[in-house]
Structure 1
Amino acid sequence: MIQKLFSYLIPVKIFKKKSARSKVIEVTWANGELVLDSENTNYSYGSLQRILRYGLRNIGYSNILKMDHILLLGVAGGSVIKTLVDEIKYKGKITGVEIDSDIIQIANEYFNLNKIKQLEIIIDDAFEFVLKTKEKYDLIIIDIFEDINMPNFLFERFFSDRICFLLKDQGFVLFNTMILDEAHNVRNRKYISEINPKLFSSKMLPRIEVHNELIIIEKVA
């Protein structure tokens, strides 16, 4: 494909749409792969896929292969789902919660998300879903952005307590955060300090991208 070849020299935009939730969504060929971007940041594939793959590797692919049910809050183009299914060969159930139905339509059309049999997509607000769900999960991946902004509720004690409550024993949380200033550093340190150390271990991974910091929580008791 000529666009793919050209993309090694210069990004080739093939689709652009305004979304009520995400403002502008773009699909672009970049360095030979399709990526999904918002106006100011990478939403799926590209650098974001590298970041979340790094987090999954830290949890351990062998641990992930033993899991029954993974919850993804914030689907976008579904790059972390492709990592789980295509690279790690995960066979269990994946539930993806995404508030923006426009993004799911694009993910189905350009990234074939609807071809993944073990995936259930739910169009809902992540906060509402987390309050309602009766399931427990082996891994909860939090990857929620509105362009470069992260909703405040993600860092509130009530929400983090609820997320931790939804973990099975020896379950993990993989939380992708964006750091743009010192206030965000303070926010992340406060978030970690509020995790109960008697029940959970928590850590921040060394950054592999300038503005993204991964937090990993493991239920140890």
Structure 2
Amino acid sequence: MIKRLLSYFYPIKIYSQKSALSQSIEITWANGDLVMDSLNTNYSYGSLQRILKLGLKNIGFAKIKKMESILILGVAGGSVIKTLVDDIQFSGKITGVEIDAEMIKIANQYFKLDKIPQLNIVIDDAFEFVLKTKDKYDLIIVDIFQDTKMPNFLFESFFIDRICFLLKSKGFILFNTMLLSPEENLRNQKLINEFKTEYFSIKTIPRVEIHNELIVIEKLD
């Protein structure tokens, strides 16, 4: 409790760990809340939770609450899961895919993800998972970073086409991206310009928390 109170004045790091896949995973008390950070950016809770919550609000909390199944690619500490369960009261099935098993161990310890009954965590590469799964989803959240970098496969047409295929009718994709260079701005613009819109609509929520841009895709039929 003392550390939590002191964190309103300055951040207090309580855990730091390197895993085989992540340079650094840190748990810190900041402004009264526990947050998970990488070396250079927020991974869960903190600014990331605000970013994804804004995207969920754009889709509509009431609409999400009625959904049956949600897929999250990139779990980290699970802040978006907490938003779904605590703020939206989503009671359907949540599947979270995370490549780093150490990240999930830490999330269970500090954020109690393993206490959420409708959550199924799959330790797998997101690209491999979307190729293998036979399930379809009402909402797919893509939130995959390696520190401040995003894997190239996320922007390849095959991956985008595949996650669109996994959407149920009237489903949504919420894609969190980070823009730190002119090249990354062009990357996002290319994806949007080349997106096939016959059966989908696509829009952006730009410059969330300065460096993030959310892309929202809706399946129309």
Give RMSD over aligned pairs: 0.6
Q: 1:22 & 1:199 partners in 2: Cα distance?
A: 37
The 5-angstrom pairing of residues 114-193 of structure 1 reads 114-193=114-193
How many residues end up aligned between the 2 structures? 221
Indicate the larger mover: 210-219 or 199-208. Answer: 199-208
Counterpart in 2 of 1:27?
Answer: 27
Q: 1:192 & 1:130 partners in 2: Cα distance?
A: 21
Counterpart in 1 of 2:10?
Answer: 10
Q: 2:78 & 2:192 partners in 1: Cα distance?
A: 27
Counterpart in 2 of 1:194?
Answer: 194
Which amino acid is the alignment partner of residue 69 of structure 2? Answer: H
Which amino acid is the alignment partner of residue 91 of structure 1? Answer: S
Q: TM-score, length-normalised on structure 2?
A: 0.99
Q: 1:206 & 1:120 partners in 2: Cα distance?
A: 31
Counterpart in 1 of 2:70?
Answer: 70
Q: TM-score, length-normalised on structure 1?
A: 0.99
Report SS of the residue matched to 1:77.
coil
Unaligned 5+ residue runs, structure 1?
A: none
Are the counterparts in 1 of residues 70 and 137 from structure 2 also a CA contact under 8 Å?
yes
Which amino acid is the alignment partner of residue 43 of structure 2? Answer: Y
Runs of 4+ residues over 4 Å off in structure 1 = none
CA shift, 1:194, in A, is: 2.4
Report SS of the residue matched to 1:144.
coil
CA shift, 1:195, in A, is: 2.0
Identical columns (%): 67
Which amino acid is the alignment partner of residue 182 of structure 1? Answer: P
Unaligned 5+ residue runs, structure 2?
A: none
Report SS of the residue matched to 1:43.
strand
